[in-house]
Amino acid sequence: MKALIVGAKGQLGRGLQATAPADAMLTCVDVDELDITQPEAVQAFVARERPDLLFNAAAYTAVDKAEQEEELALAINGTAVGTLADAARAVGARFVHVSTDFVFDGLAGVPYRPDAPTAPLSAYGRTKLVGEELAGPNALIVRTAWVYAPTGGNFVRTMLRLMGERPEVRVVADQIGTPTYAPGLASALWTMARAGITGLHHYTDSGAASWYDFAVAIQEEALAAGLLGQEARIVPIPSSDYPTPATRPHYSVLDKASTFAALGGPTPHWRANLRVMIAAIKSEG
């Protein structure tokens, strides 16, 4: 089985490589090797490689910056997805695309089903919704949220740094979602893709948390593992105390019932995967 991973240097791209099945022959590229906003280059590359699976792990993820760069975000998160989907279709490859909880407005108060009405609040969310539409009906599209991994820029690593530098850290407490460990997401994508599953699905770790809850858990696990030498005071604040250019949904927990059915059971709880992540960081020194 040949698999092409686009966006291979990101958190999810690295996770897809680390969790690839033994029989997978991987071709891994990032923007320095393939600019997915160039249709002719994409079509030629995919035609040459002729993968059985094409994973799109590439994305414009600078949520706040996208408010000023929506055209660029749309080129990467929207138009390029259609280009990749067309190229995959041309060689008979299954196309796997990853989207976001930010396609919702966060007003529901209950977990969002895959078929729930969308209403993105930000440029990032709007561009990701376009990508979903352009991926096509035969693609596997998986929405996720709050992705983190042992490497790369993410909330966990930022919190560990700030807690090691400051006596006090202020964290938003009125945005509720679910953290997602990138290797777990990657493993699920492999399982679903190899099973031939298509359509729109949701994947995060199990449970729910505010960013404040997540930060408290990060410190507790890091202290227990010896990654932090002292305890910082974590102060819960409302979103209004931390204004950002992009509006974020206050509640974006995703309903994962269809995904759990496809995977044969629920995903690990976010706290359990956080512990795995902390152990991985410690082992890497």
Looking at residue 229, its pLDDT comes to 86
Q: Give pLDDT tens digits for 69-96.
A: 999 999 999 999 999 999 999 999 999 9
What is the average pLDDT value for the chain, to the nearest integer?
Answer: 94
Q: Give pLDDT tens digits for 21-38.
A: 999 999 999 999 999 999
Question: Could you give the C-alpha distances from 142 to 55, 58, 111, 115, 161, in angstroms and in order?
Answer: 11, 13, 15, 12, 30
pLDDT over threshold 90, residue 133: yes
Question: Cβ(171)–Cβ(237) under 8 Å?
Answer: yes
Looking at residue 152, its pLDDT comes to 80
Question: Could you give the C-alpha distances from 145 to 41, 101, 164, in angstroms and in order?
Answer: 30, 6, 26
User: By C-alpha distance, which of 19, 30, 27 is closest to 182?
Assistant: 19
- The verdict on residue 73 lying in a domain is yes
pLDDT over threshold 80, residue 284: no
**CATH code of the domain covering residue 256:** 3.40.50.720
Share of the chain above pLDDT 70, in %: 100
* Mean pLDDT value across residues 116-139: 96
Looking at residue 191, its pLDDT comes to 95
Quick one: CA torsion of 112, 178, 74, 37, rounded to 10 degrees?
Answer: -120
Tokens 């919190």 found at: 159
Q: Could you tell me which residues are beta bridge partners of residue 172?
A: 237
- The verdict on residue 71 lying in a domain is yes
Tokens 């995904």 found at: 259
* Mean pLDDT value across residues 136-150: 94
* Mean pLDDT value across residues 196-205: 95
pLDDT over threshold 70, residue 162: yes
- When computed from its CA atoms, the radius of gyration of the chain, rounded to whole angstroms, is 19
| Domain hosting residue 228, numbered range | 2-214+224-284
Residues tagged active-site: 124
* Mean pLDDT value across residues 161-170: 94
* Mean pLDDT value across residues 178-187: 96
Looking at residue 285, its pLDDT comes to 60
Instruction: Provide the domain count of the chain.
Output: 1
Looking at residue 106, its pLDDT comes to 94
- The verdict on residue 219 lying in a domain is no
pTM reported for the whole predicted model: 0.93
Give the pLDDT band (50/70/90) at residue 243.
Answer: confident
- The verdict on residue 98 lying in a domain is yes
Tokens of 40: 């002719």
